[in-house]
Amino acid sequence: MIPTLEWTSEGVRFLDQTRLPLEETYVLATSYQQVADVITTMVVRGAPAIGVSAAMGVALGVERSRAATLAELKPEFETICDTLAATRPTAVNLFWAIARMRERFTKLAAQLEMTVKGVAAGLIEEARLMYDEDIAACRTLGANGAELMPEAGGVLTHCNAGALATCGYGTALGVIRAAVEQGHSLHVYADETRPFLQGARLTAWELMHDGIPTTVLCDNMAASLMRQGKIKAVVVGADRIAANGDVANKIGTYGVAVLAKEHGIPFYVAAPWSTIDLATAHGDDIPIEQRAAIEVTHHAGKQLTPHNVGIENPAFDVTPAKYVTAIITERGVLRAPYPESLSELENAAVQA
């Protein structure tokens, strides 16, 4: 399995995604501030992986705390959560994970004779559980989505929604993996995904690791390939899905969705339930991260653009629900109208 992130007795270990595909190196974070830094600098990235990393960061912060009493620990716990919540704004999994750690903290702290050590042990257990649940969710949603994949032919994906973006197996790439395991003969077309190149560097690396046939294309080539009939389906991940079914994902996803509709190609979004944000009514309300201009102006340390030219670098865009053929989750496959479909599965889970 691809070791995206891991809780160890020394700290949280991350496969450094900024150095892939040419170097497989690891970063060991031994403080919550280091975990926050690893998320901000995209050593680890991808919505589900960010969420579990933050949960592990919270657990690490409490484990390493010097607080002698719960009263001393409480304000420190707030600082830890706030620091990790300030890393990246778009992926809702980050806030979902921190909220879950807060809930566990409150329950632990309310127990009679609870100690700081006891709280730390409980939070470590919670973060590790979230890690296991993430892999299980990816496997289940992968199986749910496999039957939507063509028996054979090209499938386009954008960014990296694979094992590297989760604790393992992946969401969009989980669907592709499951379909291949079931005997579908797929060829993956990976958009390079400017400016951070998650497709060219990460999706290509992890699919080749698994022996799945893969071709990288520049982002501006997708339309032409669709017109030639090479793409039978599109499957992407998501950073946040609003209650109306609008999907925030890596910048460029919206363009791919519009192209898919024009060419009559199904456009699927694969995401765990932790990516669904029922508290956000509409995609326009999703905060979009603006990243540093240097990601666009430079490549591998070399300047590409003239000095002082204006630069746009939104890291995500919103694809309106009308372009989404289906949303594949571990709870089932959702179809329009999404508000009804989402609340049906939400209510079913509450009753279960």
Ligand X SMILES: CSC[C@@H](O)[C@@H](O)C(=O)COP(=O)(O)O
Binding site for ligand X (CB under 6 A): 45-48, 91, 159, 161, 165-166, 171, 198, 237-239, 249-250, 315
Tell me if 64 is assigned to a ligand binding site.
no
124 close to 7: Cβ distance less than 8 angstroms: yes
d(CA 242, CA 337): 13
The nearer residue to ligand X, 18 or 115, going by C-beta atoms, is 18
Could you give the count of Cα atoms lying within 13 Å of 38 in the half-sphere of its Cβ? 30
d(CA 198, CA 170): 14
* 3-class DSSP assignment, residue 191: strand
Tell me if 144 is assigned to a ligand binding site.
no
The nearer residue to ligand X, 83 or 171, going by C-beta atoms, is 171
d(CA 187, CA 309): 39
CB of 234 to ligand X, least distance (A): 12
Which residues are CB-contacts of 75 (< 8 A; sequence separation ≥ 6)? none
Which residues are CB-contacts of 325 (< 8 A; sequence separation ≥ 6)? 266, 267, 268, 335
CB of 113 to ligand X, least distance (A): 41
Tell me if 47 is assigned to a ligand binding site.
yes
Strands ordered across the beta sheet of 240-242: 276-277, 240-242, 247-250, 316-319
Tell me if 194 is assigned to a ligand binding site.
no
Which helix (H) or strand (E) element contains residue 109?
A: helix 92-109
Tell me if 88 is assigned to a ligand binding site.
yes
- 219 as an active site residue: the answer is no
The nearer residue to ligand X, 65 or 157, going by C-beta atoms, is 157
| Neighbour-count burial of 110, counting CB atoms closer than 10 A to its CB (0-12 exposed, 13-18 middle, 19+ buried) | exposed
Shortest CA distance to 329 belongs to which of 91, 165, 145? 145
Tell me if 335 is assigned to a ligand binding site.
no
d(CA 202, CA 44): 11
CB of 5 to ligand X, least distance (A): 13
Question: Token pair of 64, please?
Answer: 């390493």
The nearer residue to ligand X, 213 or 314, going by C-beta atoms, is 314
The nearer residue to ligand X, 108 or 234, going by C-beta atoms, is 234
The nearer residue to ligand X, 186 or 235, going by C-beta atoms, is 235
CB of 106 to ligand X, least distance (A): 28
Which helix (H) or strand (E) element contains residue 226?
A: helix 222-227
CB of 46 to ligand X, least distance (A): 4
DSSP-assigned letter for residue 306: -
- State which residue has the least CB distance to ligand X: 237
E-state strands within 83-174: 152-157
CB of 57 to ligand X, least distance (A): 16
Catalytic residue among 134, 191, 239, 246: 239
Tell me if 249 is assigned to a ligand binding site.
yes
Q: What residue numbers does the annotated binding site cover?
A: 45-47, 88, 198, 249-250
Q: What residue numbers does the annotated binding site for substrate cover?
A: 45-47, 88, 198, 249-250
Residues serving a catalytic function are: 239
